[in-house]
Amino acid sequence: MKTIIVVGNGMVGYKFCEKFVARQASNDFKILVFGEESRPAYDRVRLSQYFEDGNATALEMAPRSWYAENNIELITGQRVTDIHRSSRTISTMNDQTFSYDYLVLATGSSPFVPPIKGIEKEGVFVYRTIEDLEAISAYARTLSEGNMQPPKAAVLGGGLLGLEAAKAVMDMGLEPHVVEFAPKLMPRQLDRRSSKILQGKLASLGIHVHLNKATNAIIGSRAITGLQFGEYDGIMVDMLVVSAGIRPRDELAKTCGLEMGTRGGIVVNNKMQTSDSSIFAIGEVALYNNMIYGLVAPGYEMAEVAVSQILGDQEVLMSETIDMSTKLKLIGVDVASFGEPFMPVEKGYAILFENKTKDLYKRVNISHDGTKLLGGILVGDATDYNRLHQLYLNDLPIPEAAEELIIGSITNGSPSLGSVLDIPDVAQVCSCESVTKGDICNPIKSGACNSLSEVIAMTKATTGCGGCKPMVTDLVDETLASLGKEVQDTICEHFDYTRQELYGICKVKKISTFDQALATCGKGHGCEICQPLLASIFASLYNDTPNDEAVIQDTNDRFLANIQRNGTYSVVPRIPGGEISADKLITIGKVAKEYHLYTKITGGQRIDLFGAKLNQLPAIWKDLIDAGFESGHAYGKSLRTVKSCVGSTWCRYGMDESVSFAIALEERYKGLRSPHKIKGGVSGCIRECAEARGKDFGLIAVEGGWNLYVCGNGGANPKHAKLLAEQIDNETCIKYLDRFLMYYIRTAAPLMRTAPWLEKLEGGISQLQKIVVADSLQIASALESEMQSLIDAYQCEWKQAIENEAMKSRFKHFVNDEADDDNLVFVPMRDQWMPKQWEQ
Amino acid sequence: METIISTYTSVNEQAVKTWYKAGPVEAFPDNGGVCVKYKDRQIAVFNFKRKNTWYACQNLCPHKLEMVLSRGMIGDANSLPKVACPMHKKTFSLETGENLDGALDAIATYPVKVADNIVYIGFSE
Ligand code: SRM
Ligand SMILES: Cc1cc2nc3c(=O)[nH]c(=O)nc-3n(C[C@H](O)[C@H](O)[C@H](O)COP(=O)(O)OP(=O)(O)OC[C@H]3O[C@@H](n4cnc5c(N)ncnc54)[C@H](O)[C@@H]3O)c2cc1C
Ligand code: SF4
Ligand code: FES
């Protein structure tokens, strides 16, 4: 048995292990991994996510147990200090010695900290490890405490990483300032014009940019208080994050005499071997073709090469040219550059498109003979990045009028890039996991995979940076379509239809029970997917309440309450527009007290009462209904809340009565069942305190009426709502909303919010405008009258449930006993109660 | 917690010693479930009307050990009758109790018979 020692358990060191294990040759080898950091390898590319959720485990490349399961010994918190090449041993910081047959150096790099005067001051950080992020957060918190003004943070370096860091400090509530030595941002990827556009865009997000600034001192006594550029120039800041490039961690190699680059890095050949053939170097420490590649994809390829070489597969060599294309993530601005972003005149010419009013810049570089795309830059809209990148990578033919590559997408909405299926099978689509187009399409053609999720499970495509997701989705969809296979949007094995089709069938054939639906157009006995879906369709068509056919409802609808962690329920009475009288507040307080319910103000401007046992629900609702409350439908795929700000009733800036209108809208659409939940918001002025643009529909009062926005949401993938109509009066708002909502209800896929629905709608918002405002399909009056009949049919389903003994009888834990569920355990928390934590 | 799980073991019809009288047929909704209390046990009972078959299983979901399965939706997958837990939609065969979409422990199932409009569940003790 031979021993491989891997030094460094970062992204690339981990990938080496993963690829090694995948070859199943590991029985002949023992792998021993040393990592200096205390944690097993984590996804550094997504490091900034740690600020969002503070969840370090979620970033892990694999859990610690994975290493053990695959016979890899992982020793973390242990730095390797020396390599003794003559005895083929290494020693560690606590003087243990281990011998190797092969040594793999994957020590990565460290941030370069320029020797500026004062750089050692408190409040100066780098951005590379989870510990760095923890230190930054902790410092930011102490700065923010008791501070009225947001503290300021500078980021030294306006490259890819610097901008990411700037966004991160901004999200922490600090005022970000990016300081760059060069005259432009992202100097390696962008030209001056695109940098300008990016700068404007960043300014609108609140990120200040200082270009042409050579920082020559960091001022402050103990902690940083500012940066000094020239004699009279500088800025006052409370914190600094240095992001001025990286330096390979090559110290081990230096001391044992391996060949090094003049500016650092361990020299490797195309087998990833160093000057000592039993020592390999991969990732950001390796100097290949006289370059250090600060990206993860080349590192992964290096890992693949090293694994192959060690296992005797000598043909696998590192590619000659390394693709350095990049797309900036996170920041809220699309920025991408690929291939050769700048074009020396002797090699080709550039075609530029710039629209400053829209912060848009697109550039493609074309070979002199007009046949090849050599590179380009996209700022403001990078939707075409994946396709252009593929054209570039695979030397694919381009349109004769090369400007169509960028302008086509602006004039007619779709770029003239042809089908994704035109790219060759060998084209690499997911560079993080080296997945080619063939790897994605072939399993579909052979029938091994039938959906996006199956392709992802098989190939790991999209699981790295995720940038290739749109392209992989297109490839899967188009391949399925080319095989004549339905792109999977039929509902389940019981109904071979889409939701829209089923909606139509039920409407035409007046189907109103699940059994009828099965008999007319289904097969088998139904399942947990089609039953609630049909229930929702019946509700949208006839405004049936869930009481009518309780057993086909999702559990929340079946019991008209949201199930909680321990099987109890929460109770959310409707509080339209968030307005509530003192008497009603007292009632809620009394009910909560009587039934020992935990109360909390929700994110939707109302009050949730948690911990009600199934058999208590009718009594609780009786008390609430007697006091004038109604169901809040918090459990339903239906209208939730219409959030309001206080508006002109009280607010000195209010342009209109936002509360009154929010209440009117909430009353109008309450109980409306839809493909997914619907939320609304009404703000009294453009300060937008009701966050109306984060809702499925939102109104903002402006001079001369309301601006109506549609198709926004919060959640995991926030989307701002888009403007549908401007300066309209209350009546017109309602008319457009009736049409919009009803059209959505008719056509959306199950569990699809309005934002993704709009994305799928051909023609997008302008098409929706045509339908809703200009009535291009001539269905407006039908939509309006359908909506009106649903509104007329509204009844409070809780009132219905408690007044009808048969309906009420379902709210019991035991059918044969009045007892409570004896499995429930509550524990105290602050002044209330919560369910005991799960043990598994 | 282990103790709670171990109070539920599948019973097959031959082994039944006690037929527990759970209630009249009308108390059991068509195509849905309810929970029956038997001593300190909670049994989910489903009147799968569309198949004209009755099923019973433990009310305890092996995923998070909550007493909720009777509130799940029933249906079939490739003609196999199943129940989906209301909490996270894990599905279990109503015939064998086996977890159909994962590697959770199987749930215990019990025989059901209906005589003179009364529903009985079979226990082995
Ligand atoms: C109770 C509440 C949290 C709180 O304590 O504040 C809550 C609780 C739940 N939310 Fe929420 N959300 C609550 C406000 C929000 C908000 C804020 C808002 O409404 O302004 C959002 C972001 C806005 C939005 O929806 O666009 C929000 C976005 C989500 C999402 C993501 C939706 C999306 O389109 O991405 C889910 C998941 C889903 O629906 O698939 C979700 C799902 C859930 C579920 C249903 C998860 C579940 O299945 O158990 C939780 C139900 C708990 C319960 O029993 O009530 N909740 N949830 C809030 C109830 C508001 C209300 O009064 O009705
Ligand atoms: C915030 C951030 C965002 C990024 N975003 C992107 C992106 O969008 N796209 C992209 O392609 N790349 C991105 N990168 C770069 C990417 O993370 C790196 O290319 C990648 O992590 C390099 O992997 P590596 O294994 O070579 O080095 P590392 O991940 O740094 O791992 C090296 C490990 O070796 C350990 N080590 C060093 N010396 C020793 C020793 N003597 N003994 C034991 N252990 C040692 C180190 O502690 C470290 O844990 C980003 C980087 C950062 C910091
Ligand atoms: S964010 Fe929403 S879904 Fe997630 S835990 Fe909070 S309430 Fe539940
Ligand atoms: S508790 Fe049943 S699926 Fe999670």
**Ligand 2 center to A327 CA (angstroms):** 18
**Residues on chain A touching B4 (C-beta within 8 angstroms):** 823
Q: Which ligand is nearest to the CA of B68?
A: 4
Q: What is the tens place of the pLDDT at every residue in A447-478?
A: 888 878 778 878 888 776 666 777 888 888 88
Q: What is the tens place of the pLDDT at every residue in A787-800?
A: 999 999 899 999 99
Q: What is the DSSP string of A168-234?
A: HHHHTT-EEEEE-SSSSSSTTT--HHHHHHHHHHHHHHT-EEE-S----EEE-SSB--EEE-SSS-E
A722 and A575, same structural domain?
yes
| A782 found inside a domain | yes
C-alpha–C-alpha distance, residues A565 and B104, integer Å: 18
CATH of the domain at A299: 3.50.50.60
| A412 found inside a domain | yes
Q: Which ligand is nearest to the CA of A634?
A: 1
A236 and A183, same structural domain?
yes
C-alpha–C-alpha distance, residues A534 and A208, integer Å: 52
Confidence of residue A26 (pLDDT cuts 50, 70, 90): low
C-alpha–C-alpha distance, residues A343 and A499, integer Å: 50
**Angle CA A486–A501–A776, to nearest 5:** 110
**Ligand 2 center to A212 CA (angstroms):** 29
pLDDT of A415 higher than 60: no
Asked if B100 reaches chain A (Cβ–Cβ under 8 Å), the answer is: no
**Ligand 3 center to A339 CA (angstroms):** 42
| A627 found inside a domain | yes
Nearest CA in chain B to A528: B73
The encoded tokens of residue A758 equal: 């709009």
Instruction: State the nearest Cα–Cα gap between A152 and chain B, in angstroms.
Output: 44
Phi, psi of A33 (to 5 degrees): -115, 130
Confidence of residue A403 (pLDDT cuts 50, 70, 90): confident
CA atoms within 13 A of residue A394's CA, in its CB half-sphere:
21
User: Could you tell me which residue, A502 or A273, shows the higher pLDDT?
Assistant: A273
A720 and A695, same structural domain?
yes
Q: Which residue has the tokens 């410092």?
A: A139
Domain stops at, among A244, A275, A301: A244
Q: Which ligand is nearest to the CA of B89?
A: 4
Q: What is the pLDDT of residue A169?
A: 92
> Strand B109-110's sheet: what is its strand order?
B33-38, B41-48, B53-58, B109-110
CATH of the domain at A474: 1.10.10.1100
End-to-end, the C-alpha distance of chain B in Å comes to: 22
Q: What is the pLDDT of residue A409?
A: 44
- Average pLDDT (A174-191) is 93
**Ligand 4 center to A567 CA (angstroms):** 10
User: Could you tell me which residue, A354 or A577, shows the higher pLDDT?
Assistant: A577
- Average pLDDT (A46-50) is 88
The encoded tokens of residue A837 equal: 């934590």
Confidence of residue A411 (pLDDT cuts 50, 70, 90): very low
Give the residue from A268, A9, A3, A239 showing the smallest Cα distance to A127. A239
| A152 found inside a domain | yes
- Average pLDDT (A643-671) is 94
Q: What is the pLDDT of residue A466?
A: 67
| A161 found inside a domain | yes
Q: What is the pLDDT of residue A412?
A: 42
Phi, psi of A290 (to 5 degrees): 65, 25
**Residues on chain B touching A839 (C-beta within 8 angstroms):** 1, 65
A701 and A642, same structural domain?
yes
Beta strand residue intervals within A380-488, DSSP E: 428-430, 435-436
| A293 found inside a domain | yes
CB A766 within 8 A of CB A723: no
**Residues on chain A touching B74 (C-beta within 8 angstroms):** 525
| CATH number, span B3-123 | 2.102.10.10
C-alpha–C-alpha distance, residues A471 and A556, integer Å: 37
A682 and A591, same structural domain?
yes
Domain count across chain A: 5
Asked if A554 reaches chain B (Cβ–Cβ under 8 Å), the answer is: yes
- Average pLDDT (A563-590) is 95
Asked if A566 reaches chain B (Cβ–Cβ under 8 Å), the answer is: yes
Instruction: State the nearest Cα–Cα gap between B15 and chain A, in angstroms.
Output: 24
Whether residues B50 and A525 touch (CB distance < 8 A) is answered with yes
Q: What is the pLDDT of residue B78?
A: 85
Asked if B80 reaches chain A (Cβ–Cβ under 8 Å), the answer is: no
Residue among A531, A555, A814 whose CB faces B71 most closely: A555
Q: What is the pLDDT of residue A417?
A: 52
Confidence of residue A310 (pLDDT cuts 50, 70, 90): very high
**Ligand 3 center to A376 CA (angstroms):** 41
- Label residue A723 exposed, middle or buried (CB < 10 Å: 0-12, 13-18, 19+): middle
Q: What is the pLDDT of residue A491?
A: 81
The encoded tokens of residue A433 equal: 């996991």
Q: What letters, b where the CB count within 10 A reaches 16 and e where it falls short, cover A313-332?
A: eeebebeeeebbbbbbbebe
- Average pLDDT (A399-416) is 63
Confidence of residue A481 (pLDDT cuts 50, 70, 90): confident
Q: What is the pLDDT of residue A330?
A: 59
**Ligand 4 center to B65 CA (angstroms):** 7
DSSP A465: S
> How far apart, in Å, are the Cα atoms of B29 and each of A373, A550, A555, A807, B46?
66, 9, 15, 11, 8
End-to-end, the C-alpha distance of chain A in Å comes to: 39
**A42 Cβ below 6 A of ligand 2:** no
- Average pLDDT (A661-673) is 95
**Residues on chain A touching B39 (C-beta within 8 angstroms):** none
Domain stops at, among A218, A244, A270: A244
Interface A-B, measured as beta-carbon pairs within 8 A, has a size of: 107
Q: What is the tens place of the pLDDT at every residue in A72-131?
A: 999 999 999 999 999 999 999 999 999 999 999 999 999 999 999 999 999 999 999 999
Task: Fill in the amino acid letter for A197.
Answer: I
> How far apart, in Å, are the Cα atoms of A205 and each of A197, A255, A581?
13, 47, 39
Phi, psi of A385 (to 5 degrees): -55, -50
User: Which sign does the torsion angle of CA A656, A659, A662, A663 carry?
Assistant: negative
Give the residue from A194, A193, A122, A127 showing the smallest Cα distance to A166. A127
- Average pLDDT (A60-77) is 93
Q: What letters, b where the CB count within 10 A reaches 16 and e where it falls short, cover A262-281?
A: eebbbbbeebbbbebeebbb
Bridge-based pairing state of the strands A2-7 and A29-34 = parallel
Asked if B89 reaches chain A (Cβ–Cβ under 8 Å), the answer is: yes
A733 and A746, same structural domain?
yes
Which residue has the CA at smallest separation from atom 3 of ligand 4?
B88
Asked if B84 reaches chain A (Cβ–Cβ under 8 Å), the answer is: yes
C-alpha–C-alpha distance, residues A752 and A740, integer Å: 15
| A227 found inside a domain | yes
The encoded tokens of residue A510 equal: 């007046």
Whether residues A551 and B1 touch (CB distance < 8 A) is answered with no
Whether residues B73 and A551 touch (CB distance < 8 A) is answered with yes
**A159 Cβ below 6 A of ligand 2:** no
DSSP A486: P
Confidence of residue A413 (pLDDT cuts 50, 70, 90): very low
Q: What is the DSSP string of A489-551?
A: -S-BTTB-S-HHHHHHHHHHHT--SHHHHHHHH--TT--TTHHHHHHHHHHHHH---TTTTGG
A156 and A100, same structural domain?
no
Asked if A613 reaches chain B (Cβ–Cβ under 8 Å), the answer is: no
What is chain A's mean pLDDT, rounded? 90
Instruction: State the nearest Cα–Cα gap between A17 and chain B, in angstroms.
Output: 27
CB A492 within 8 A of CB B84: no
Q: What is the tens place of the pLDDT at every residue in A716-765?
A: 788 999 999 999 999 999 999 999 999 999 988 888 899 999 988 888 89
| A668 found inside a domain | yes
The encoded tokens of residue A451 equal: 């959906």
C-alpha–C-alpha distance, residues A755 and A776, integer Å: 21
With the CA atoms of A661, A667, A673 and A679 taken in that order, what torsion angle do they form, in degrees rounded to the nearest 10?
A: 30
C-alpha–C-alpha distance, residues A787 and A668, integer Å: 10
**Residues on chain B touching A548 (C-beta within 8 angstroms):** none
Q: For chain B, what are the domain ranges?
A: 3-123
Nearest CA in chain A to B29: A551
Whether residues B40 and A822 touch (CB distance < 8 A) is answered with yes
**Angle CA A688–A689–A691, to nearest 5:** 70
**Ligand 1 center to A634 CA (angstroms):** 9
Q: Which ligand is nearest to the CA of B64?
A: 4
Q: What is the pLDDT of residue A25?
A: 63
Supply the pTM of this predicted model: 0.54
Residues in chain B: 125
Q: Which of B59, B82, B85, B91 to mutate to test the pocket of ligand 4 (most atoms within 8 A of CB)?
A: B85
pLDDT of A300 higher than 90: yes
User: Could you tell me which residue, A657 or A1, shows the higher pLDDT?
Assistant: A657
Nearest CA in chain B to A837: B64
Note down the domain range covering A478.
428-482
- Average pLDDT (A702-715) is 94
User: Could you tell me which residue, A776 or A427, shows the higher pLDDT?
Assistant: A776
Bridge-based pairing state of the strands A607-612 and A569-571 = antiparallel
